[in-house]
Structure formats: C-alpha cells, structure tokens
A and B are shown apart, each in its own frame.
Chain A
Amino acid sequence: MHQLRRKVFHERMGWDVTVIRQWEIDGFDVFDPLYLLSVDHNDRVVGSLRLLPTTGFTMINDVFSDLLPDGKPIHSPLIWESSRFSVDHEADVPIGPNGISRATAELGLAMNQIGMGLGLSHIVTVYDAIVHRTLRKARCAGEPIGAPKRVGGTLAYAVFYEVSAETERATRAASGIYGPVLEDDMEVGLQKVA
C-alpha cells in the first residue's frame, strides 16, 4: 500500500511527499487509521485509502483548511475523513458504463458499508480536479464543501459523501458491482459490531 502511494503521489502526481525506503508515509499514519485495500486475484494491492475520525487529526483540518468555508474545521464523531486515495492505473480495470475503475468502486462501496455499520453520517475527503472529473463522469463525485482552490500544482476539492443506502445504490449502478466487497471476516466482524 505504501509503495502504491509512492507510485501515485510521488511519481505520478509529483507531490511533495516523504518517501522512505520506497514507502510513502506521513504523520497521519501514526494515528492507527483504518486502511481499506482493494486487491486483485494475485493479492496485489491495486487501490487503497485511509480513514480517520474528524474528532482527531485529519488532513482536511490540519493540512487543507484553506479549502474549508471560512477555514473552519470539520468536527464530528459521525464524520470520518478518507485520505491518500490511490489506484494503480496499470493494474486497475475500468468497468461499468461510465468507465469507473473496479478498485475505485470497491473502495467507495466498502467505505460506505463500514460507515453504515458504524452509524456515520458523512465521509469527507480532499481530491484533485482529475479525480473529480473522472468521478463526475461516473456520477460518483462528492459534493463540494467549499470552492476548489489551487494547492501546489493541482486544483484541489474538499468534498463530502453521504453515508447512505442511496450512495450504495448509485455506486453499484455506476460500476455494475452487485456482490459483496468486504472480505468474509470483515463482513462478519462488522455485523457483530454493527
């Protein structure tokens, strides 16, 4: 996962991120986040994202606060942040009528399912204009929280997703994935906690 993140953020997007021994890793990885991984048939990580509650430290509040209305933080036990969303363009496959990729759709569905199990209301995230355009084409873009702004070399959006059955329906329709996306263990575990 950290190597995929290096590939995406360091090599492809050219962001100013720290790479240690081929790993992209940052200060938010120390807060025991929940990582979601999308793997292919050979168990290779094709996509990943990182979840953190907005009551603690998050990228949207502590790095990208310029993107928020009046610079005010997002802060609720029912709103979590997704960050470091990465997909491997070489290994990922576009599916569905609007070209959304399998890993993207799986990660979105998994995030929504976990959120529903926990009773979350929203997931917030910051992504760039290219991701926004791709997701909008697939009708899976988030709703902007404030106006997009230039951060470094790219135009960045702060957006929110509702955690809901409607979000699941839209993502399934856009991707054509109708089966379960979480591993069996995880599914059982969640039912137990939910």
Chain B
Amino acid sequence: MGLLEKYAGDDLFELIDQVAKAEKLDEGHELLRSALETYGLEHVVYLAVNLPSEKRDRPLVAMTYSAEWQKHYAQRDYVDIDPVVKAGIGGILPVDWETLDRKHPTVKKFFGEAQEFKVGAQGISVPVRGRHGEFALFSVTSDLSPPEWSRLKQHLMRDLMLLAYNFHSFALKAEQIEDGDDYRDKLSFRESECLRWTAMGKSAWDTGQIMGVSERTVKFHLENARGKLHAMNTTHAVSKAISLNLIALY
C-alpha cells in the first residue's frame, strides 16, 4: 500500500490543496510534516537552485529541522558541502542517503553533527526539474529501523515523486514565479475528453470504447492530465478539472 493510500482519499486532496493554498514555504512544510509524521517520517526539506527570481542569488531553502540545526547549517554555509545536495544536484535519480560515501572527514563530521541535531537517521532526496531551468531537491528523513525504513521506501517512491513535484509547484507560487500554468491551455482535447468520461463514472476500458482508442491510451491521457493539473491521482484530477470548469458534466 502506498503512503498516500493510507491517507483517506479526501483528507489527502485536502492536504495537498492546503499546501497549495499556504502562502509561505514554511507553512506548507509544517502541513506536510504533520501529515508525514503519521508514517514514521521525521522531517521534510526542500531546496531549489537556479530560480529565475532576480533577487535570489542564494538557494531557496525551507526545512522542518530544529532552529538550532538551521542556524548551524546556515552559519557554516553547509549548503555548499552538503553531500546530499551534491549528489542530488548532478542527476535525476533519487538519492538514498545510505548510499552516500561518508569516508571523507568533512562529510563524516557533517553527518555526525546532523545526527546530534536529530535530523533523522535515514533519508531520501528526490530531484525535481522544472521549466525555468531550475533544480529542486525534496527530501524526507526518518528514524525508523533500517528494515522498516527499507520497507517503507519501497512503498513510498511514487508518492514521493508526486509530492516532490507538487511541493515544487507550490514553492514557485509562494515565490511568485510564473509557472506558466494555464490548465485550460495545456490540456489537449483528448485529455479533457478522458477526464469527462471518467467524471461520468466510465472506466478506462469504457472510455476507450467510446473514444475508439485503446484502454492503455486512455490511461496515458489521464496520467498526463493528472500531471498538468498537479493532482495526486485521477480522482483528484477529475475533481480539480470540475472545480476549474475545465470539463462540463452534461
């Protein structure tokens, strides 16, 4: 079972929408953290570099870590040596903190200190790429035992990929960076059609029959529409499309 499936459907949509409505990055973080704690996760950390805002030459960082660790981290310019940032920023694959090489003394010291400040024994960071050439890293940490953590991770990946991306979209909005998101403009006719039939209770197979395409094609259109609407799943996408007046139910 995925992390978010455990979260009852409506609560989850509400949480994501609440995060999207939060005005400051930290508020969004707090919302996410309190939700994630239920699943044995300790902290949520978000970092973005190369954002198009003129006033920003330092990375945009928001985290739920203790004020002491944040201060310590900032004072020592740890963002420049943080091995998680280094590993995450050079690629598109998620980075499990366990796989990082900790032999180097600076890195060893860094993780030692992080532990003292109760950052969490385990962590995973998901890179996000956006349309401004920017780069973000969304991390969660945990104090679960290694076997429990490894089990949780397996169920967590897809949800984390979705959360990371949706949180990044929210961060852009909080920073007043134009997302270029006019949903009406971005959905293709076929995608809206698939959403509309789904809203009317048709399965992907039914919809395929009606539209004269394969069930697989319907599923692909629905996934693409879900992505563009920043929704967590198809049901959420349908409810967003209805509330945004993108599909008419008649």
Contact = CB atoms under 8 A, between A and B. Distances in A.
Interface of A: 31-34, 51-57, 68-70, 72-79, 114, 117-122, 143, 145, 160, 162, 189, 192-194
A77 B165 CA distance: 6
Interface size class of B (residues with CB under 8 A): 35 or more
Main secondary structure of the interface of B (DSSP, over half): helix
Contact of A51 (B92, B128, B223): B92
Given A77-B162, A189-B99, A72 B157 contact: no
Interface of B: 90-96, 98-99, 124, 128-131, 133, 150, 153-154, 157-162, 164-165, 186-191, 214, 216-217, 219-220, 223-224, 226-228
B153 A194 contact: yes
Contacts of A114: 93
B157 A194 contact: yes
A70 B191 CA distance: 10
A57 B131 CA distance: 6
A92 to B, nearest CB: 26
Given A77-B128, A78-B161, A192-B98, A143 B217 contact: yes
Given A55-B128, A69-B189, A78 B94 contact: no
Contact of A76 (B95, B98, B157, B226): B226
Contacts of A160: 220
A72 B191 contact: yes
Nearest to A189: B99
Contacts of B216: 143, 162
